[in-house]
Chains A and B, each alone.
Chain A
Protein backbone atom coordinates (compact mmCIF):
# COMPACT_ATOMS: atom_id res chain seq x y z
CA UNK A 1 0.00 0.00 0.00
CA UNK A 2 1.02 3.59 -0.55
CA UNK A 3 2.03 5.20 2.75
CA UNK A 4 1.03 8.82 3.36
CA UNK A 5 3.02 10.81 5.93
CA UNK A 6 1.79 14.14 7.24
CA UNK A 7 3.73 16.75 9.15
CA UNK A 8 3.50 18.13 11.66
CA UNK A 9 1.19 15.81 13.64
CA UNK A 10 -0.13 18.88 15.44
CA UNK A 11 0.41 22.61 15.51
CA UNK A 12 -0.73 25.60 17.54
CA UNK A 13 -1.69 28.78 15.71
CA UNK A 14 -3.59 31.99 16.21
CA UNK A 15 -6.54 33.40 14.30
CA UNK A 16 -5.17 35.17 11.24
CA UNK A 17 -2.03 33.04 10.99
CA UNK A 18 -0.90 31.40 7.77
CA UNK A 19 -0.75 27.63 8.24
CA UNK A 20 0.94 25.04 6.03
CA UNK A 21 0.56 21.27 6.35
CA UNK A 22 2.74 18.83 4.42
CA UNK A 23 1.87 15.39 3.06
CA UNK A 24 4.38 12.99 1.49
CA UNK A 25 3.58 9.83 -0.45
CA UNK A 26 5.79 6.73 -0.37
CA UNK A 27 5.66 6.59 -4.17
CA UNK A 28 4.68 8.93 -6.97
CA UNK A 29 0.94 9.56 -7.09
CA UNK A 30 0.91 12.36 -9.67
CA UNK A 31 -1.91 14.68 -8.52
CA UNK A 32 -4.17 11.98 -7.05
CA UNK A 33 -4.36 13.67 -3.66
CA UNK A 34 -7.33 14.92 -1.64
CA UNK A 35 -7.50 16.94 1.59
CA UNK A 36 -10.23 16.61 4.21
CA UNK A 37 -11.11 18.56 7.35
CA UNK A 38 -12.54 16.73 10.36
CA UNK A 39 -13.99 18.37 13.43
CA UNK A 40 -14.89 16.06 16.37
CA UNK A 41 -18.52 14.95 16.23
CA UNK A 42 -18.95 16.21 12.69
CA UNK A 43 -18.83 14.63 9.26
CA UNK A 44 -15.45 14.86 7.52
CA UNK A 45 -15.44 17.53 4.82
CA UNK A 46 -13.68 17.51 1.45
CA UNK A 47 -11.58 20.64 0.96
CA UNK A 48 -9.25 20.01 -1.97
CA UNK A 49 -9.22 17.34 -4.69
CA UNK A 50 -6.73 16.51 -7.44
CA UNK A 51 -4.05 18.18 -5.30
CA UNK A 52 -5.08 21.77 -6.04
CA UNK A 53 -8.76 21.98 -7.00
CA UNK A 54 -10.95 23.74 -4.45
CA UNK A 55 -14.16 21.84 -3.67
CA UNK A 56 -17.30 23.87 -4.32
CA UNK A 57 -18.37 25.87 -1.27
CA UNK A 58 -14.97 25.75 0.44
CA UNK A 59 -13.53 29.18 1.36
CA UNK A 60 -10.73 30.46 -0.87
CA UNK A 61 -8.34 30.77 2.10
CA UNK A 62 -7.76 27.03 1.61
CA UNK A 63 -5.37 26.02 -1.15
CA UNK A 64 -3.46 22.92 -2.15
CA UNK A 65 -0.34 22.36 -4.18
CA UNK A 66 2.12 19.68 -5.15
CA UNK A 67 2.54 16.69 -7.42
CA UNK A 68 4.42 13.43 -7.39
CA UNK A 69 5.25 12.71 -3.76
CA UNK A 70 5.15 16.10 -2.01
CA UNK A 71 1.98 18.04 -1.30
CA UNK A 72 0.91 20.97 0.86
CA UNK A 73 -2.33 22.36 2.24
CA UNK A 74 -2.25 26.06 3.09
CA UNK A 75 -4.74 28.09 5.09
CA UNK A 76 -3.92 31.71 4.26
CA UNK A 77 -5.60 33.29 7.29
CA UNK A 78 -6.76 30.90 10.00
CA UNK A 79 -10.33 31.40 11.17
CA UNK A 80 -11.95 30.13 14.42
CA UNK A 81 -13.92 27.48 12.51
CA UNK A 82 -10.71 26.07 11.00
CA UNK A 83 -9.49 24.49 14.24
CA UNK A 84 -9.81 20.83 13.31
CA UNK A 85 -7.80 17.83 12.13
CA UNK A 86 -6.72 17.73 8.48
CA UNK A 87 -6.06 14.56 6.50
CA UNK A 88 -4.53 13.92 3.12
CA UNK A 89 -5.73 10.90 1.13
CA UNK A 90 -4.28 9.35 -2.02
CA UNK A 91 -6.61 8.17 -4.78
CA UNK A 92 -3.85 6.87 -7.09
CA UNK A 93 -4.32 3.31 -5.90
CA UNK A 94 -8.12 2.99 -5.97
CA UNK A 95 -8.03 -0.59 -4.67
CA UNK A 96 -6.14 0.53 -1.57
CA UNK A 97 -6.99 4.08 -0.57
CA UNK A 98 -4.86 5.45 2.24
CA UNK A 99 -4.89 8.50 4.49
CA UNK A 100 -2.16 10.39 6.21
CA UNK A 101 -2.08 10.26 9.99
CA UNK A 102 -3.69 13.68 10.34
CA UNK A 103 -2.58 17.12 11.49
CA UNK A 104 -4.44 18.63 14.43
CA UNK A 105 -4.64 22.41 14.29
CA UNK A 106 -5.13 23.86 17.78
CA UNK A 107 -5.63 27.32 19.16
CA UNK A 108 -2.49 28.98 20.48
Chain B
Protein backbone atom coordinates (compact mmCIF):
# COMPACT_ATOMS: atom_id res chain seq x y z
CA UNK B 1 0.00 0.00 0.00
CA UNK B 2 1.31 3.43 -0.94
CA UNK B 3 1.55 5.54 2.20
CA UNK B 4 2.88 8.94 3.23
CA UNK B 5 3.29 9.99 6.85
CA UNK B 6 4.20 13.53 7.88
CA UNK B 7 5.86 14.35 11.18
CA UNK B 8 7.69 17.16 12.93
CA UNK B 9 4.87 19.62 13.45
CA UNK B 10 4.32 21.53 16.67
CA UNK B 11 4.23 24.91 18.36
CA UNK B 12 7.04 27.30 17.46
CA UNK B 13 7.68 31.00 18.08
CA UNK B 14 7.81 33.51 15.24
CA UNK B 15 11.25 33.76 13.68
CA UNK B 16 12.22 30.23 14.68
CA UNK B 17 12.75 27.16 12.49
CA UNK B 18 11.11 23.77 12.14
CA UNK B 19 11.77 20.76 9.92
CA UNK B 20 8.98 18.52 8.72
CA UNK B 21 9.50 15.00 7.42
CA UNK B 22 7.44 12.94 5.00
CA UNK B 23 8.13 9.20 5.23
CA UNK B 24 7.08 7.22 2.17
CA UNK B 25 6.40 3.52 1.77
CA UNK B 26 4.85 1.15 -0.75
CA UNK B 27 6.54 2.59 -3.85
CA UNK B 28 10.00 3.38 -5.27
CA UNK B 29 10.48 6.81 -3.73
CA UNK B 30 13.28 7.87 -6.06
CA UNK B 31 11.03 7.48 -9.11
CA UNK B 32 8.75 10.34 -8.08
CA UNK B 33 8.75 14.04 -7.35
CA UNK B 34 7.28 15.12 -4.03
CA UNK B 35 5.08 18.07 -3.22
CA UNK B 36 4.31 19.96 -0.03
CA UNK B 37 1.00 21.72 0.58
CA UNK B 38 -0.73 23.44 3.48
CA UNK B 39 -4.13 24.49 4.75
CA UNK B 40 -4.33 27.42 7.14
CA UNK B 41 -7.24 27.50 9.62
CA UNK B 42 -10.46 28.31 7.79
CA UNK B 43 -8.68 28.55 4.42
CA UNK B 44 -8.30 26.38 1.35
CA UNK B 45 -5.43 24.26 0.07
CA UNK B 46 -2.21 26.06 -0.88
CA UNK B 47 0.78 24.69 -2.75
CA UNK B 48 4.06 25.22 -0.84
CA UNK B 49 6.67 23.67 -3.10
CA UNK B 50 7.92 20.70 -5.07
CA UNK B 51 11.11 18.68 -5.54
CA UNK B 52 11.70 16.74 -8.73
CA UNK B 53 13.16 13.26 -8.81
CA UNK B 54 16.96 13.03 -9.07
CA UNK B 55 16.93 11.89 -12.69
CA UNK B 56 15.24 15.21 -13.49
CA UNK B 57 17.84 17.11 -11.50
CA UNK B 58 16.17 17.04 -8.09
CA UNK B 59 15.37 20.71 -8.57
CA UNK B 60 12.87 22.60 -6.46
CA UNK B 61 10.11 25.16 -6.97
CA UNK B 62 8.43 27.24 -4.27
CA UNK B 63 5.38 29.38 -3.79
CA UNK B 64 6.18 33.08 -3.59
CA UNK B 65 4.89 33.18 0.00
CA UNK B 66 7.65 30.84 1.24
CA UNK B 67 10.46 31.34 -1.28
CA UNK B 68 13.73 32.16 0.45
CA UNK B 69 12.47 30.86 3.83
CA UNK B 70 11.50 27.25 3.11
CA UNK B 71 13.69 24.53 1.59
CA UNK B 72 12.61 21.13 0.32
CA UNK B 73 15.07 18.25 0.18
CA UNK B 74 14.95 14.50 -0.18
CA UNK B 75 16.86 11.43 0.98
CA UNK B 76 16.07 8.67 -1.49
CA UNK B 77 18.02 6.11 0.58
CA UNK B 78 15.55 6.64 3.44
CA UNK B 79 12.46 7.39 1.29
CA UNK B 80 11.94 10.69 3.12
CA UNK B 81 11.19 14.19 1.90
CA UNK B 82 11.88 17.18 4.13
CA UNK B 83 10.48 20.67 4.46
CA UNK B 84 12.88 22.99 6.29
CA UNK B 85 11.00 26.07 7.45
CA UNK B 86 13.03 29.08 8.62
CA UNK B 87 12.00 32.57 9.74
CA UNK B 88 8.52 31.32 10.51
CA UNK B 89 5.64 33.79 10.60
CA UNK B 90 2.26 33.55 12.28
CA UNK B 91 0.68 33.25 8.83
CA UNK B 92 2.59 29.98 8.31
CA UNK B 93 0.27 28.35 10.85
CA UNK B 94 -1.38 25.48 8.99
CA UNK B 95 -1.71 21.76 8.54
CA UNK B 96 1.10 20.71 6.21
CA UNK B 97 0.65 17.83 3.78
CA UNK B 98 3.07 15.98 1.54
CA UNK B 99 2.03 14.20 -1.63
CA UNK B 100 3.57 12.12 -4.38
CA UNK B 101 3.81 13.84 -7.74
CA UNK B 102 2.78 11.83 -10.78
CA UNK B 103 3.56 13.03 -14.27
CA UNK B 104 2.34 11.27 -17.40
CA UNK B 105 2.27 12.65 -20.92
CA UNK B 106 2.97 16.08 -19.48
CA UNK B 107 -0.01 16.03 -17.12
CA UNK B 108 0.97 16.17 -13.45
CA UNK B 109 -1.11 15.40 -10.41
CA UNK B 110 -0.62 14.54 -6.75
CA UNK B 111 -1.64 11.22 -5.23
CA UNK B 112 -1.76 10.03 -2.55
CA UNK B 113 -1.55 12.58 0.25
CA UNK B 114 -0.51 12.15 3.84
CA UNK B 115 -2.77 12.91 6.81
CA UNK B 116 -0.90 16.10 7.57
CA UNK B 117 0.99 17.59 10.50
CA UNK B 118 -0.06 20.77 12.32
CA UNK B 119 2.37 23.67 12.59
CA UNK B 120 1.39 26.50 14.92
CA UNK B 121 3.48 29.68 14.91
CA UNK B 122 2.71 31.77 17.95
CA UNK B 123 4.48 33.68 20.68
Contact = CB atoms under 8 A, between A and B. Distances in A.
B108 A91 contact: yes
Interface in B33-91: 35, 37, 39, 44-47, 50, 61, 63-64
Contacts of B46: 99
A98 B37 CA distance: 11
A99 B45 contact: yes
Contact of A97 (B44, B47, B107): B47
A102 B115 contact: no
Given A31-B107, A32-B107, A97-B47, A44 B61 contact: no
Interface in B6-46: 35, 37, 39, 44-46
A94 interface: yes
B109 A49 contact: yes
A67 interface: no
Interface of B, helix, strand, loop or mixed by DSSP: strand
Contacts, number: 63
A73 B17 CA distance: 39
Nearest to A43: B113
Interface stretch (A11-19, A20-28, A34-42, A74-82): A34-42
Interface residues of A, number: 27
* Size bin of chain B's contact surface: 20 to 34
Interface of A, helix, strand, loop or mixed by DSSP: loop
Nearest to B95: A41
Contact of B111 (A42, A46, A91): A46
B108 A87 contact: no
Interface in B97-123: 97, 99, 107-116
Interface in A21-69: 31-32, 34, 36, 38, 42-46, 49-50, 55
Interface in A81-97: 85, 87, 89, 91, 94-97
Interface of A: 1, 31-32, 34, 36, 38, 42-46, 49-50, 55, 85, 87, 89, 91, 94-102
